[in-house]
Structure 1
């Protein structure tokens, strides 16, 4: 150990003595020390398109030695890697020196490595692709104090772009040309718009897509050509659109589908291949056919005699893959006779079934704001092809334990750390189509499913209560366009019953009758509808929107049936199987807006609102349907269920005070600035505000109702900073919330900033995924 330490000291002394970063620089080269500056000059009125503006200087970026976070212009002051590299005349070939050299040395980044002349040409080419044909770029080497080092200055001049002048489609009289002529009014090419190679390529793709959806199997985007003339009108492009005059005859012929064959689990072995003919399908398989022929036919969009369509080919692949029963699916088309007047294609669907049974175990550790911590387990077993049509039968077992970090004495005076547990079992059957009702129409372009489920859950809360929850339901999920998603909860019946309660819990409930009512034994027969609007993501759009609205009603249909039949006509409380059922309506709305500032940099906003109204058979909402606020995905300066309702604050030291902190109304606003730091590490600065309120006054929770004169004071506000590590499939997030304003007054701190001590307003959250 002493010998190694001695060697390190000798090596470091030698490196410090040499302290040269240019010792091994070739005679006709220089050490690159970064970009000094990038000068961009624009003519008056020039506004760069977003796609160009965010990427214009990207080709110029090149990190020098000892760059700070990969920066092209900022370097760390001590180039240790270069010192080590230059301390050796030749790289050591063995021993500790070799390890030390390979681990810590850094090869010099030379001007010849950077190739600045080539980089400015790339930028110039990018500008020309967007119509800046007379743009110019240049570079200049700036020698350092040491003439063997140099920085680079880049200069970019951007003139006004060329615009499209006249646009003329020059076509012949073939069927394909007639189709192109018919869709010309929808052309992406417009007079007086800026010239763009991307627009030209998009038009080629649009035309090719139209033709390939009309039988032209061999047509490709590059068969549409452009002839551009920039000499006739200044700063203008005269464009002629023509079809490639030299094309194989097969390209200009529409193809129809002939035979359709499906191979399921067919391998190259000696096992015999069986065949089933079903409504135009030839199905070949080995062993037992584990998928129903009707399912295959329903999900194959093309039929014999149809014109070939690229859209229907894509739809067929999507439909079959959505079943989640295939390991792989691919489609092949073979021409029968391309020389014929009406050529045909044989279609082959080649597939292999996935193993239907799957098991998944998920383990986690939860730490809660009520001084409880403990592990959780989710075990799921599923069969993804229960009846041969992609039906998914799943059973999920949930178990969790919680220990109190602060032990308390029970009635006997003994202490216990095992405070609570939960067991749950959920069984569900998901069918990849809509069974009933038939009014939900679908053309098969988008996914849809029917789900039936039953569940049971046993929850024990430390020293308080034991609750049994039973439930079951039927729901439909479907999509009507690329942007609109719908979920109909056709029926759901939940039952909750407190099996056992302690004196401590009974005392808490006796002191708060409104909360006690929400814990009563009750049925919750409900229906609901959720609609989501989320346009597909696009690299060319700077703004992205998301909106989700939901409506839930409970007990109204059952109450109406009782009214019609005259049952419970004179009863103040209506029951189902001897227990009172809940009656309420609930509305929520979640709006989000994302604004792209630059690549990987954006502003994100969320506005959430909700209201629940009990009536008729209920005076309060069921506890599970009430709103709460705070936590990692809400107002991050406060822990979950630690705010509201209104300005109400539970007495200090009251255990399980979070039970009181729910409400009928919720309003929340979040804003976040997200930016890259280095590679997969990103940062965020955020602002959160909001609260929950009661609809009616509760003497046990003073200040809990929503009132106009105290509305602004009731809004809790917090800010903070965060780090996110993006693993592509997973985002690990750490947020440090900083409280600014609490809705409840603090006697020792007046004013809007009413946090007693700065450290008391800090709250850290470790979570998975973005908050919104």
Structure 2
């Protein structure tokens, strides 16, 4: 395919080029992952031609249905029709003087095979020289004129048909939120004059001549009826008049009336707005207790002549109880993988306001993926099993609502308050058995379409080391800091997390995700409890005091087709003070593993250039820190069908912010910072089976910070020893 300008120096916009390629590109026979890369042997065609089954069942039928590929014929591609639409496609992007042609190149050895070559030529793009809007001679045209500052059209921009359509939709949305309920984008049209100056467009937006009269009038909210059916569809019908809604329901009523009215944000007598209509529907759906919710608007009543629209909301209660059982393969951020089961039971409307009370029982057995290697020391893979119970009560609103500075934001995006209690028993037979108890009170809400927040107020955790092995005890004795982090202790913390999640670009092809979180623990108890710093206890139990913050930025860019470039940059830091000298072990940072630096197994790098003693089977316990820096870049591309490939580069490490004699080289130091960065590359495969993604990665070490006795940057002992294999579920980031 050749796409060239008529004059040198003229560039075709990336969106226009992509649209042309999408129209002309057809996967050929035995395509690999694009129209231009093919398998050397047409296996699918061979199956189609030679393995056609005679029966509709059996292995041969399955094999044929799975692997046979229908031949791609010139007659089905229809290149003559494809080149005919190219000028129209380019015209939609402002390139009016364009042309397209094709030629067939027949294979010399086999005349039944041919290659299609497309030649596309485009001229200079046409730009807007002037843009005018309707004269503000009526309330409707005055509103249109008042929105010009938010227009998607700008003088000097290249003409684009999709932007013209989006501008009509934008104006229509504004009008429908000002009471013009029946206005439609089709009632706006454009006049474009291209005769004055070459490659320039004088554009004028105007109202269509035959706009229906009802589209030119504003409407107010009339009578509101909420018709609620029971879950069974049976029951005596009753009616009650609320302050703003006529409530018709089937007995027995399972929802409190005030919550129905609270979630209907349309009010009788107010200007009818599309935003309020959407808010009402979304608020009712978010309650999670209705099987369906529909909204119908009456046609204008010519007899009443009050320009009001009556609204009927039709809904049905869902069954209140819900149970689920899941058997799955779990993959955690610490490179452990294994089978797990979850059994849950929930009441979705326990207090009649959409409150969800749930109970979950879980169990899992996990083993660590990858070859454990740290500073030349090989150890056995870790394994563990875990049992847990979790009870939670979630309210589909913020309690109290005054927590949100603007109630309109809660109506638009919703909010949730959750109270949770949980207990987890973790058993690592070679090391320890630990019980973790947690309780939390959290708020989740959005402040905009792309921003969400979580406030934990408070979260209280208690870690209790039930028993430990002699080997584990010996390791704790050798490292007092690690021993302190494993002690039985309360962790009373407050936390806040902000998330920014936005898709943008052509067809939302690019994606930015940013998460920042901060937490602090033990400050109130430290103030309230008398005693010596470092030895204070609450109810006879030591408590932790620290501050911690992390930020995680990710950027995903579509390169071509289904090929993506994914990047991540993560920084975290924690500081113990007051009643603590070290962070609790569960709050410390670690690095390496299936979702981190994949050339190194979890907890085999850091802190800094620290190298644990050779032959120490419990070395991984020492390899945590209170400062973390990590960066990843990964190219993801399709290979065949649901099979994808990846090439990646990972870098980072963890450090100590306070020097420790037992871990020399572990402190963050500007002089050794770059030498302390672990670097690894690798390749991987991903297989998408619709409900989850199976992932296999092979990491290749390039630089290990603990091998500082070697002068060269590549300091791995050998290529074979630099490899780490990981089996995981889902993408690493």
The TM-score, its normalising length taken from structure 2, stands at 0.90
Change in CA separation of 1:571 and 1:613 when aligned onto 2, cut-off 3 Å: closer
- Indicate if the aligned counterparts of 1:486 and 1:529 stay in contact, CA closer than 8 A: yes
- Indicate if the aligned counterparts of 1:370 and 1:656 stay in contact, CA closer than 8 A: no
- Indicate if the aligned counterparts of 2:136 and 2:145 stay in contact, CA closer than 8 A: no
Matched, 1:122 2:89: no
Please report how far the alpha carbon of residue 78 of structure 1 lies from its aligned counterpart in structure 2 after TM superposition.
5.2
Residue of structure 1 in register with 2:314 after alignment: 350
- Indicate if the aligned counterparts of 1:266 and 1:284 stay in contact, CA closer than 8 A: no
Pairing partner for 1:57 from 21, 38, 43? 21
Please report how far the alpha carbon of residue 158 of structure 1 lies from its aligned counterpart in structure 2 after TM superposition.
1.4
Matched, 1:556 2:531: no
The farther-off stretch of 316-325 and 598-607 is 598-607
Change in CA separation of 1:77 and 1:584 when aligned onto 2, cut-off 3 Å: closer
Residue of structure 2 in register with 1:277 after alignment: 241
Please report how far the alpha carbon of residue 761 of structure 1 lies from its aligned counterpart in structure 2 after TM superposition.
1.6
Residue of structure 1 in register with 2:618 after alignment: 656
Residue of structure 1 in register with 2:629 after alignment: 667
For structure 1, the residue ranges without an aligned partner over 5 or more in a row are 1-36, 406-416
Residues 95-148 of structure 1, C-alpha deviations (whole Å, 9 max, x = no match) = 99xx79977987654332221111012222110101111111111223332555
Counting only pairs closer than 5 Å after superposition, residues 742-757 of structure 1 correspond to structure 2 as: 742-745=704-707, 751-757=712-718
- Indicate if the aligned counterparts of 1:397 and 1:425 stay in contact, CA closer than 8 A: yes
Matched, 1:160 2:121: no
Pairing partner for 2:595 from 633, 642, 651? 633
Q: Could you say what secondary structure the match of 1:55 adopts?
A: helix
Please report how far the alpha carbon of residue 538 of structure 1 lies from its aligned counterpart in structure 2 after TM superposition.
5.0
CA–CA distance in structure 2, aligned partners of residues 68 and 79 of structure 1: 8
Counting only pairs closer than 5 Å after superposition, residues 58-457 of structure 1 correspond to structure 2 as: 58-65=22-29, 67-69=30-32, 71-76=34-39, 109-145=72-108, 146-171=110-135, 173-265=137-229, 271-338=235-302, 341-365=305-329, 375-401=339-365, 421-436=385-400, 438-441=402-405, 442-443=407-408, 444-457=411-424
Please report how far the alpha carbon of residue 361 of structure 1 lies from its aligned counterpart in structure 2 after TM superposition.
2.5
Residues 355-380 of structure 1, C-alpha deviations (whole Å, 9 max, x = no match) = 22222223345699999986433222
Residue of structure 1 in register with 2:471 after alignment: 504
The TM-score, its normalising length taken from structure 1, stands at 0.86
CA–CA distance in structure 1, aligned partners of residues 503 and 306 of structure 2: 38
CA–CA distance in structure 1, aligned partners of residues 501 and 336 of structure 2: 37
Change in CA separation of 1:521 and 1:218 when aligned onto 2, cut-off 3 Å: same
Change in CA separation of 1:494 and 1:75 when aligned onto 2, cut-off 3 Å: closer
Change in CA separation of 1:339 and 1:168 when aligned onto 2, cut-off 3 Å: farther
- Indicate if the aligned counterparts of 1:133 and 1:162 stay in contact, CA closer than 8 A: yes
CA–CA distance in structure 2, aligned partners of residues 43 and 577 of structure 1: 82
- Higher RCO (CA 8 Å, separation ≥ 6 residues): 2
Change in CA separation of 1:504 and 1:679 when aligned onto 2, cut-off 3 Å: closer
Pairing partner for 2:677 from 715, 719, 722? 715
Q: Could you say what secondary structure the match of 1:709 adopts?
A: coil
Q: Could you say what secondary structure the match of 2:32 adopts?
A: coil
Change in CA separation of 1:392 and 1:377 when aligned onto 2, cut-off 3 Å: same
For structure 2, the residue ranges without an aligned partner over 5 or more in a row are 370-380
CA–CA distance in structure 2, aligned partners of residues 502 and 82 of structure 1: 61
Residue of structure 1 in register with 2:573 after alignment: 611
Q: Could you say what secondary structure the match of 2:632 adopts?
A: strand
The farther-off stretch of 674-683 and 512-521 is 674-683
Please report how far the alpha carbon of residue 645 of structure 1 lies from its aligned counterpart in structure 2 after TM superposition.
1.2
CA–CA distance in structure 1, aligned partners of residues 111 and 469 of structure 2: 83
Residue of structure 2 in register with 1:469 after alignment: 436
Larger Rg: 1
The farther-off stretch of 388-397 and 738-747 is 738-747
Residue of structure 2 in register with 1:459 after alignment: 426
- Indicate if the aligned counterparts of 1:610 and 1:665 stay in contact, CA closer than 8 A: yes
Change in CA separation of 1:47 and 1:327 when aligned onto 2, cut-off 3 Å: farther
CA–CA distance in structure 2, aligned partners of residues 371 and 169 of structure 1: 60
Residue of structure 2 in register with 1:47 after alignment: 11
CA–CA distance in structure 2, aligned partners of residues 369 and 252 of structure 1: 58
Q: Could you say what secondary structure the match of 2:311 adopts?
A: strand
The farther-off stretch of 173-182 and 737-746 is 173-182
Please report how far the alpha carbon of residue 221 of structure 1 lies from its aligned counterpart in structure 2 after TM superposition.
0.6
CA–CA distance in structure 2, aligned partners of residues 86 and 404 of structure 1: 46
Residue of structure 2 in register with 1:22 after alignment: none
The farther-off stretch of 291-300 and 358-367 is 358-367
- Indicate if the aligned counterparts of 1:685 and 1:722 stay in contact, CA closer than 8 A: yes
- Indicate if the aligned counterparts of 1:458 and 1:469 stay in contact, CA closer than 8 A: yes
- Indicate if the aligned counterparts of 2:434 and 2:466 stay in contact, CA closer than 8 A: yes
CA–CA distance in structure 2, aligned partners of residues 727 and 373 of structure 1: 18
Residues 151-192 of structure 1, C-alpha deviations (whole Å, 9 max, x = no match) = 222111111111112222235733322221222333222222
CA–CA distance in structure 1, aligned partners of residues 13 and 334 of structure 2: 52
Change in CA separation of 1:228 and 1:644 when aligned onto 2, cut-off 3 Å: same
Residue of structure 1 in register with 2:550 after alignment: 588
Aligned length: 715
CA–CA distance in structure 1, aligned partners of residues 626 and 593 of structure 2: 18
Residues 328-358 of structure 1, C-alpha deviations (whole Å, 9 max, x = no match) = 2111111251465432211111112222222
Please report how far the alpha carbon of residue 437 of structure 1 lies from its aligned counterpart in structure 2 after TM superposition.
7.2
Please report how far the alpha carbon of residue 702 of structure 1 lies from its aligned counterpart in structure 2 after TM superposition.
2.0
CA–CA distance in structure 2, aligned partners of residues 760 and 74 of structure 1: 35
Please report how far the alpha carbon of residue 675 of structure 1 lies from its aligned counterpart in structure 2 after TM superposition.
2.5
RMSD: 3.2
CA–CA distance in structure 1, aligned partners of residues 681 and 562 of structure 2: 22
- Indicate if the aligned counterparts of 1:696 and 1:705 stay in contact, CA closer than 8 A: yes
CA–CA distance in structure 1, aligned partners of residues 47 and 433 of structure 2: 67
- Indicate if the aligned counterparts of 1:669 and 1:690 stay in contact, CA closer than 8 A: yes
Please report how far the alpha carbon of residue 284 of structure 1 lies from its aligned counterpart in structure 2 after TM superposition.
1.7
Change in CA separation of 1:212 and 1:514 when aligned onto 2, cut-off 3 Å: same
Residue of structure 2 in register with 1:771 after alignment: 732
Please report how far the alpha carbon of residue 631 of structure 1 lies from its aligned counterpart in structure 2 after TM superposition.
1.2
Residues 662-696 of structure 1, C-alpha deviations (whole Å, 9 max, x = no match) = 11111111111223334443322111011111122
Residues 412-437 of structure 1, C-alpha deviations (whole Å, 9 max, x = no match) = xxxxx998543322211111211137
Change in CA separation of 1:331 and 1:43 when aligned onto 2, cut-off 3 Å: farther
Change in CA separation of 1:703 and 1:94 when aligned onto 2, cut-off 3 Å: closer
Q: Could you say what secondary structure the match of 1:710 adopts?
A: coil
Change in CA separation of 1:110 and 1:576 when aligned onto 2, cut-off 3 Å: closer
The farther-off stretch of 211-220 and 647-656 is 647-656
CA–CA distance in structure 1, aligned partners of residues 534 and 71 of structure 2: 86
Change in CA separation of 1:403 and 1:668 when aligned onto 2, cut-off 3 Å: closer
- Indicate if the aligned counterparts of 1:676 and 1:683 stay in contact, CA closer than 8 A: yes
CA–CA distance in structure 2, aligned partners of residues 393 and 42 of structure 1: 68
Q: Could you say what secondary structure the match of 2:413 adopts?
A: coil
- Indicate if the aligned counterparts of 1:259 and 1:347 stay in contact, CA closer than 8 A: yes
Please report how far the alpha carbon of residue 744 of structure 1 lies from its aligned counterpart in structure 2 after TM superposition.
0.8
Change in CA separation of 1:306 and 1:571 when aligned onto 2, cut-off 3 Å: closer
Residue of structure 2 in register with 1:19 after alignment: none
Change in CA separation of 1:76 and 1:590 when aligned onto 2, cut-off 3 Å: closer
Please report how far the alpha carbon of residue 612 of structure 1 lies from its aligned counterpart in structure 2 after TM superposition.
0.9
Please report how far the alpha carbon of residue 733 of structure 1 lies from its aligned counterpart in structure 2 after TM superposition.
2.5
CA–CA distance in structure 1, aligned partners of residues 56 and 225 of structure 2: 65
